[in-house]
Structure 1
């Protein structure tokens, strides 16, 4: 039986192979061109993924060796080294660093995937392999999209990543949702995920929550799961909004974009 850890690790492998193939084909001019992350060019997004791979790998290795999670000074050193690379160097080094991390996850046997715990430093306690892999997949999946959407505005999240990111999207609301932008307005939206035939409730208040479909919604948001996940992470700008996204009621898409400004 395929476990959640197995799914996440397989998704990390596919994401690595697909993004590596893309990165290796980029020209120097493309690497310094805009990504979908407004403050970064493509090489800076790639740098972020490469440095993140190194930091995650150190946490995995520390857990296997019985050491504490890497301290912030370790992270700062990794970031400084990647920041100092040229765009072309980042494109060369990213596949190497990310390959090592993916291989480290793949090396966990079935028992470890079920029982091993990894201290990633910023969670209140060590997490299981599945959670650690999904956390990395969430970071990887969104920034993979940042790269692809910088080249093609119609790019979408990888489907194998999206289904696992969805498992923890509400857990991100605590730090990515900004209900203050609604200036005291509240609303219960019916969210219809058109590709899944599923309905949920998006409760716009403080804090923003996701739950069962409301019996008397104030409006309806209709879109695919992939588009909803990008909306929640600030990646559904006008340029990147599919034509089939619809909303009714007192809350507009621009309101939702303000509530979910991204990171």
Structure 2
């Protein structure tokens, strides 16, 4: 088993524990109150996470079955995650719940998924393969996808109760590893190409973020070329920037230089 997996599953468990605590004392009005996700209430955020846990459970089953079937094959095989037509009834069922049920059922559903993940054997973890929107992924990538989703939306709730809230520290490094992969799904901005050097702390990273015919993120030493600006900020803030959650009211101290910076990047990453 990948030695990082237990820590990343624990980070997902910790985000679930945090979210459970955040909503535990909310009454009916509280769960109907707005979340940071502009179109969703707090209950709707949990509804989204509940449907994601249900869909992720189906993908987990498929990935385990596919991996075991291909364990003796040189090329292996992968299970298939649910397609959109399979997901739509799940979304509809969650949307039909009351806000109170969305909250309680979501927490229970994610707890069930976590119990399954925590119970995987090293052999199951090693053979797991599932085809998702990124293509065929292993268990480490699958878990990071769940963690990124859960930790980000937990922040969507936390920040409405505490404006100084941040994404959980134990989620940041796994989320950083996925950001470069997700860059390929970002639409490049119109206008002249530009590059921004991004230096982070906690953990320390040194990137170049390029805006050209596509958006890409590379290690600074590998990127080459001149940059048009530079930003130094906590890694947690960089993760929130990518997810469209680094507005002016929720930005920690940042150092900027050059002609391109956060104002430009906020336009590239509007969030969801």
TM-score, reference length from structure 2: 0.87
Q: Number of residues paired by the alignment?
A: 257
The residue aligned with 1:249 is 258
Structure 2 distance, partners of 1:64, 1:211, is 32
Following superposition of structure 1 onto structure 2, how do residues 18-37 of structure 1 map, counting pairs within 5 Å?
18-37=18-37
Q: 2:97 aligns with which of 61, 85, 91?
A: 85
**1:40-76 C-alpha deviation (Å, 9 max, x unpaired):** 1111111100110011111212334457533323311
Q: 2:114 aligns with which of 98, 102, 112?
A: 102
Distance 1:83 1:254, change over 3 A: same
Query: Which runs of no fewer than 5 residues in structure 2 stay unpaired?
Result: 67-78
1:118 aligns with 2:130: yes
Q: 2:242 aligns with which of 215, 229, 232?
A: 232
The residue aligned with 1:46 is 46
Structure 1 distance, partners of 2:202, 2:83, is 42
Structure 2 distance, partners of 1:223, 1:132, is 28
1:185 aligns with 2:185: no
The residue aligned with 2:74 is none
Q: CA deviation at 1:185?
A: 2.2
Structure 1 distance, partners of 2:47, 2:260, is 37
Distance 1:14 1:197, change over 3 A: closer
Query: Which runs of no fewer than 5 residues in structure 1 stay unpaired?
Result: none
Q: Is the 8 A contact 2:198 2:232 kept in 1?
A: yes
The residue aligned with 1:172 is 182
The residue aligned with 1:208 is 215
1:260 aligns with 2:269: yes
Q: CA deviation at 1:114?
A: 2.1
TM-score, reference length from structure 1: 0.90
Structure 1 distance, partners of 2:175, 2:35, is 21
Structure 2 distance, partners of 1:210, 1:68, is 28
Structure 1 distance, partners of 2:104, 2:225, is 53
Does the residue aligned with 2:231 lie in a helix, a strand or coil?
Answer: strand
Q: Is the 8 A contact 2:204 2:235 kept in 1?
A: no
Q: Is the 8 A contact 1:9 1:102 kept in 2?
A: yes
